[in-house]
Amino acid sequence: MNTVLSSSQVEPMLTLTPSHTPDGHAVQLYTDDSFLVDVLIRFIGGALAAGDASLVIATKPHRTELERRLSAHGVDTARAAMQGRYVVLDANETLPKLMVGGSVDETRFNHVVEGALIQAEKAAAHTSGRLAVFGELVALLWADGKPAEAIRVEQFWNNLAKSHSFSLLCAYPITACNSDRHIEPFLRMCGEHSSVVPSESYLALNTEQERLRTIAALQQKAEVLEKELALRESESSFRLLVEAVQDYAIFRLNPEGNISSWNVGAERIKGYKAHEILGRHFSCFYPEEDVRNGKPEWELIIAAKEGRFEEEGWRIRKDGSRFWANVMISAIRGSTGELLGFAKVTRDVTERMQTRKALEEEVAERRAVQRRFHDSERSLRQLSLHLLRTQDEERRRIGRDLHDSLGQYLAVLKMKLDSVASLIAQKGGELSQEFGECTRLMEESIKEVRTVSYLLYPPMLEEMGLKSAIPWYLDGFSARSGIKTTFEVETEVQRLPRESELALFRVLQEGLTNVHRHSGSPTAHVRLLVREGMVVLQIEDKGKGISPELLGEFCQEWMGGLGIGVRGMNERMRQLGGRLDLASNEGGTTVTAMVPAGKSSSVL
């Protein structure tokens, strides 16, 4: 006589919790098909016995055995199917309908599986509304060597759970997870489920505490496997990276300094094949003098003590040629701190070293050229100033000679002519008139000689100073040129050193000569001021000015009446610790010269 299976008699393995909650998607691992059917009797049979609905996607052997044993327990699956509470799909027939190009297509999965799910949901709506689902599609994919597709199906189930309420149980034969290549997909598969039931032995445990310990042990094993897999992937990736690097020689040394690994970059840089160098001491890369001095050994000592050693120096290739290397040695230690060896990274930086050396030589050469240029410039300036001072001295001498010698001769000659003129005047006539004209010309010659001598070197400048010499010069300039001049002087202006007053007076001569020749100005205004410890001489006109584009060229080419020019005067000012400025616009031109008010800074 068959025994009817009721909900109170069924010890459910899993609580019927909707799969959109954390406990709604479980996976059962099993080794024996009979055990899997026992689990399904509790899961599916318990749901049917309670009046709930179920969807079963299983292989024919599992489905046939499940229905036979449910019938033996008094569960009428045929009646439940007629009520729509028991919906069945053959897993082997359903899976091909879901595949496109060797992969499970989510659109087809939703069309087939979601259709059956909705059919079971309608029946569940007339009862308690709970729905139990068992799926074996993932087990078929896993057994076929397609674990990635099995995981995709698990994800499709999770997507359906977002819009449908059901409890899902999947099952995997544990024999399908029998190699290292299954570690990663197995861990990913577990991550898609809310709970994992280890195997038959789990249900044989008597207490919940024993079951929890079993799950904890499984989790620990999974963590160990996961770490081991990550370590393997890391080591594999690092090994591939090291082996692929060609610009760096990367190799390992044992604690004694013997080479235990060799990459492509080391072969390219140092010239040794792996079979030629493995096992040899790394000192073979060092020049003979470094080996004699024990340099390789103390580099390892420093690396072991401080954790790393880095330097640049000469190294030797297999063919004996030298190259300049950047070297870094890092100590490798175990988890307890023991020295396992060293990692050595070498880069050929010969080209960089040579470029740097060439650059340093070029910089040194440019500095030497710059020093020579500065020396030449200083010598040229000293020569320029010497020429200017020699020129001033020569003008002074010529001026004095004209005044003291030629001027005196002309004065005596005039006196003689005056005497002769008085004798001739007594007789009268035309001869007296002609001789009077000669006397007048002699007076003009004496006046011109005196003027030229004063212009070359005015005695008043030396005797009375710049404040007195300027108005004297302006009177003569106005008389000769017809240009009206004004002079403004501050009382703070005192006597300056001889060379400073002479330099400012030459600027005055040059500036007024330029006003006369080029500006077309009817007036010229001269100022002598003191500003911030500097004596400032300004010559300002109201002429046509100089355009900005011609101003620079004009500053280079302007030569005054004495042939000195702006550049010469600017150099004279610079040697005295001052400067010369030239500003011009449509309203006129201003020349500004300034020298220190105190002691002259001239070095000559």
The predicted-structure confidence for 384-417, as pLDDT tens digits, reads as follows 666 666 666 666 666 665 656 566 666 666 676 7
Same domain, 162 and 42: yes
Same domain, 42 and 125: yes
What is the pLDDT confidence band of residue 561, given thresholds at 50, 70 and 90?
very low
Read off the tokens for 341. Answer: 């060896």
Strand segments (E) across 184-274: 195-197, 249-253
Lowest mean pLDDT among 168-177, 193-202, 354-363, 581-590: 193-202
Domain membership of residue 343 (yes or no) is yes
Amino acid residing at 477 = F
Residue 236 C-alpha from the chain's centroid: 32
Its domain, for residue 291, covers: 245-348
Strand segments (E) across 7-150: 25-30, 53-58, 86-90, 99-100, 103-104, 131-135
The CATH number of residue 266's host domain is 3.30.450.20
CB 30 within 8 A of CB 39: yes
How large a percentage of the chain has pLDDT more than 90? 21
Domain membership of residue 228 (yes or no) is no
Q: What pLDDT does 127 receive? A: 56
Q: What pLDDT does 357 receive? A: 85
Question: CA–CA separation, 347 vs 326, rounded Å?
Answer: 5
Same domain, 270 and 403: no
Over 50: is that where the pLDDT of 8 sits? Answer: no
Over 90: is that where the pLDDT of 599 sits? Answer: no
Q: What pLDDT does 88 receive? A: 93
What is the pLDDT confidence band of residue 284, given thresholds at 50, 70 and 90?
very high
Over 90: is that where the pLDDT of 263 sits? Answer: no
Q: What pLDDT does 383 receive? A: 67
Same domain, 372 and 420: yes
Domain membership of residue 86 (yes or no) is yes
Domain membership of residue 236 (yes or no) is no
Q: In what order do the strands lie in the sheet with 249-253?
A: 249-253, 339-348, 322-333, 308-316
Question: CA–CA separation, 33 vs 175, rounded Å?
Answer: 12
Domain membership of residue 69 (yes or no) is yes
Same domain, 446 and 370: yes
Choosing from 348, 377, 397, the residue where a domain stops is: 348
Q: What pLDDT does 362 receive? A: 87
Q: What pLDDT does 501 receive? A: 87
Domain membership of residue 183 (yes or no) is yes
The CATH number of residue 499's host domain is 3.30.565.10
Same domain, 43 and 191: yes
Same domain, 295 and 410: no
Calculate the average pLDDT of the chain: 77
What is the pLDDT confidence band of residue 11, given thresholds at 50, 70 and 90?
very low
Question: CA–CA separation, 541 vs 450, rounded Å?
Answer: 28
Question: Rounded mean pLDDT of 4-11?
Answer: 41
**Chain segment 158-195, per-residue pLDDT in tens:** 898 888 888 888 888 876 555 556 566 676 777 677 66
Q: What pLDDT does 3 receive? A: 39
What is the pLDDT confidence band of residue 292, given thresholds at 50, 70 and 90?
very high
**Chain segment 24-71, per-residue pLDDT in tens:** 788 777 778 888 888 888 888 888 888 888 999 999 999 999 999 998
Question: CA–CA separation, 404 vs 397, rounded Å?
Answer: 10
Amino acid residing at 304 = A
Q: What pLDDT does 181 receive? A: 60
Residue 281: DSSP 8-state: B
Domain membership of residue 279 (yes or no) is yes
Q: What pLDDT does 358 receive? A: 85
Can you give the three-state secondary structure of 314-348, one letter per residue? EEECCCCCEEEEEEEEEEEECCCCCEEEEEEEEEE
**Chain segment 424-481, per-residue pLDDT in tens:** 766 655 566 666 667 777 777 766 666 666 666 677 777 788 888 889 888 888 888 8
Over 60: is that where the pLDDT of 82 sits? Answer: yes
List CB contacts of 436: < 8 A, sequence separation 6 or more.
Answer: 421
Same domain, 363 and 294: no
Helix-strand-coil percent breakdown of the chain, rounded to 5?
55, 20, 25
Q: Which of 205-214, 279-288, 517-526 holds the top average pLDDT?
A: 279-288
Domain membership of residue 320 (yes or no) is yes
Over 60: is that where the pLDDT of 294 sits? Answer: yes
Q: In what order do the strands lie in the sheet with 53-58?
A: 86-90, 53-58, 131-135, 167-173, 25-30, 195-197
Same domain, 289 and 369: no
Same domain, 452 and 578: no
Read off the tokens for 534. Answer: 């500097």
Same domain, 169 and 65: yes
Q: What pLDDT does 2 receive? A: 39
The CATH number of residue 81's host domain is 3.40.50.300
Choosing from 314, 348, 382, the residue where a domain stops is: 348
Q: Domains in the chain: how many in total? A: 4
Choosing from 436, 457, 478, the residue where a domain stops is: 457
Over 50: is that where the pLDDT of 558 sits? Answer: no
> Residue 147 CB: number of other CB atoms within 10 A?
22
Task: Name which residue leads in pLDDT, 259 or 436.
Answer: 259
Phi-psi sector, 474: left (phi>0), alpha (psi -120 to 50), beta: alpha
pTM of the full predicted structure?
0.36
Question: CA–CA separation, 26 vs 28, rounded Å?
Answer: 7
Same domain, 429 and 470: no
**Chain segment 482-527, per-residue pLDDT in tens:** 999 999 998 888 888 888 888 888 888 888 888 888 888 999 999 9
Question: Rounded mean pLDDT of 306-330?
Answer: 91
Lowest mean pLDDT among 304-318, 557-571, 580-594: 557-571
CB 325 within 8 A of CB 311: no
Residue-wise burial string across 552-570, b where 16 or more C-beta atoms lie within 10 A, e elsewhere: eebbeebebebebbbebbb
